Amino acid sequence: MNVPRFFLPVLVIAALFGGYALRTSFTQPTAQASFGGEGSETLVCTVEGLKCKGTAGFFMKLYEGRPGIASIETFATEHRAVFTYDPSLVTPSDIRAIMEAPIPLRDGREVQVFRCAEMD
């Protein structure tokens, strides 16, 4: 069967958009951690600085041992973190303050590694 030439670009564009649309079927976290305890609320943050598995691991370490944080899932390519937390022990603004707190460097300077661009 003859195929018209314009079929090729149409097919390629369909594949690219199809691939883009299909992404939600493969959503898996870059890294996740459970800290124990019960979390009845969920907070979704868009986090600037959350770029890869390394930064995701560092990000989650900031919440280790913090009361009220039950679990965190990070999605690096979407720059997204999902918290489950106990609202009687911690609030969304506490969660934001922890991620945005300046981190001391060895030379004494301090840098802000993460910034919460959006909260939901």
Partner 1 sequence: MKTRVLRYALLGAVLVSVIYLALGFGSRSFEAYCPFGGMEALWGLFQTREFTCALGPLNLSMFLAVLGLAFVAKKAFCGWACPIGFLSELAARLGGLFRKGARRPGPRLNERLKLLRYAALVVSLYFTYRLGELVLRGFDPFYIIFSGFGHGTLGWITYATLGVLVLGSLAVPMFFCRYLCPLGATLDPFSRLGFVKIVRNRELCTACGDCGAACPHDIRPQEMDAVRSRDCTNCLECVDACPEKGSLTLRATL
CB-nearer residue toward partner 1: 27 or 93: 27
Stretch that binds partner 1, among 19-27, 60-68, 82-90, 101-109 (CB under 8 A): 19-27
CB-nearer residue toward partner 1: 54 or 67: 54
Handedness of CA 38, 42, 48, 54 (dihedral sign): positive
Nearest to 97 by CA among 74, 69, 71, 57: 69
The interface mask with partner 1, positions 46-85, x = CB under 8 A, is -----xxxx--------------------xxxxx------
**Smallest distance from partner 1 to CB 87, Å:** 28
- DSSP letters, 8-54, are HHHHHHHHHHHHHHHGGGG---SEEEE-SS---EEEEEEEET--SHH
In the list 16, 44, 97, 101, the residue contacting partner 1 (rule: CB under 8 A) is: 16
Q: Which residues bind partner 1 (CB under 8 A)?
A: 1-9, 11-13, 15-16, 18-32, 51-54, 75-79
